[in-house]
């Protein structure tokens, strides 16, 4: 599986903005590892020593506004060197909130919390054929059971506290329950932090790349793939 896929739109204001928010911009210390450790993952994480209660839960309608705000603020901070300023300036909560509301209504969004604060979120589900296909359009044998982590964001001020790790481990468990056997994610090739994060989970580049049109600036992404039997190591 490898090669270059076609061009698309990465403008956050486009109709497919949420699906194309594929980069896991995570600043955290929680390490994800393939199953084999005796530290269990779960849909609600246990309390982390030295922190307020940290957990992951399914998002509800009351969370949509905060998800949209974190999406906007985190992109503007973490994508400043990857996307044109006008694209980031146009990333407006009023435009993205309805699409987040739709994703939340379908039960596809998890939120990470610390105490009473929402600190990050993850959007994941079974992968559309176009996301899992090889560069030549052919589908792998496990296409029907491949999951896509479309977006995984932790607000930078809450970084390095393990929230990204808990989000991915919890999403992996939920996806396994839906019959998924493998996960994929698209991340900017220049985003070394996200590459390292996924590598800690055993997810590596599968050789497939794509170039998106990000407001007139090319954005090259790589696809990473790995197992869904993930546990959180503290």
**CATH number for the domain harbouring residue 59:** 3.40.630.30
User: In total, how many domains does the chain have?
Assistant: 1
Spell 133-170 as b/e; 16+ CB within 10 A means b: bbbeeeeeeebebbbbbbbbbbbbebbebbbbbbbbbb
Measured CA to CA in angstroms, residue 53 lies from 24, 113, 170, 195 at distances of 23, 8, 16, 28
pLDDT of residue 65: 96
Return the higher-pLDDT residue of 39 and 72.
72
**Helix and strand element counts for the chain (H, E):** 6, 11
Summarize the confidence of residues 179-208 as an average pLDDT: 93
In the predicted model, is pLDDT for residue 41 greater than 80?
Answer: no
Measured CA to CA in angstroms, residue 213 lies from 20, 47, 125, 169, 216 at distances of 11, 42, 24, 31, 6
Return the higher-pLDDT residue of 91 and 219.
219
Compute how many other C-beta atoms are within 10 angstroms of the C-beta atom of residue 62. 9
pLDDT of residue 148: 97
For residue 226, name the pLDDT band (cuts at 50, 70, 90). Answer: very high
In the predicted model, is pLDDT for residue 28 greater than 60?
Answer: no
Measured CA to CA in angstroms, residue 179 lies from 143, 147, 158, 168 at distances of 12, 9, 32, 16
pLDDT of residue 37: 35
> Considering Cα of 205, then 210, then 211, then 214, what sign does the dihedral take?
negative
Summarize the confidence of residues 24-35 as an average pLDDT: 37
pLDDT of residue 34: 44
Q: What angle do CA 17, 18, 23 make, to 5 degrees?
A: 100
For residue 230, name the pLDDT band (cuts at 50, 70, 90). Answer: confident
Give the least confident one: 23-27, 115-119, 131-135. Answer: 23-27
pLDDT, one tens digit per residue, over 50-106 is 556 899 999 999 999 999 999 999 888 888 888 888 888 888 899 899 999 999 999
Summarize the confidence of residues 191-211 as an average pLDDT: 92
Return the higher-pLDDT residue of 151 and 13.
151
For residue 173, name the pLDDT band (cuts at 50, 70, 90). Answer: very high
pLDDT of residue 106: 93
pLDDT, one tens digit per residue, over 127-151 is 999 999 998 999 999 999 999 999 9
For residue 86, the enclosing domain spans 3-233
């Amino acid at each position: 599986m490898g090669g270059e896929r076609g061009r698309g739109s990465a403008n956050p204001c486009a109709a497919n903005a949420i699906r194309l928010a594929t980069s896991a911009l995570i600043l955290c210390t929680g390490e994800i590892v393939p199953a084999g450790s005796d530290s269990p993952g779960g849909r609600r994480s246990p309390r982390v020593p030295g922190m307020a209660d940290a957990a992951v839960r399914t998002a509800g309608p009351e969370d949509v506004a905060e998800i949209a705000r974190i999406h906007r603020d985190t992109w503007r901070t973490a994508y400043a060197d990857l996307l044109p300023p006008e694209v980031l300036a146009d990333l407006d909560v009023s435009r993205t909130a309805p699409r987040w509301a739709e994703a939340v209504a379908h039960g596809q969004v998890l939120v990470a919390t610390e105490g009473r604060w929402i600190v990050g979120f993850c959007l994941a589900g079974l992968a559309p054929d176009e996301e899992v296909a090889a560069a030549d359009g052919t589908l792998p044998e496990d296409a029907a059971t491949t999951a896509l982590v479309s977006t995984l964001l932790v607000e930078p001020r809450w970084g390095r506290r393990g929230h990204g790790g808990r989000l991915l481990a919890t999403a992996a468990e939920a996806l396994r329950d839906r019959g998924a056997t493998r996960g994929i994610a698209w991340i900017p090739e220049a985003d070394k932090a996200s590459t390292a994060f996924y590598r800690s989970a055993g997810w590596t580049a599968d050789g497939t790349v794509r170039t998106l049109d990000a407001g007139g600036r090319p954005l090259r992404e790589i696809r990473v793939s790995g197992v869904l039997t993930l546990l959180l190591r503290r």
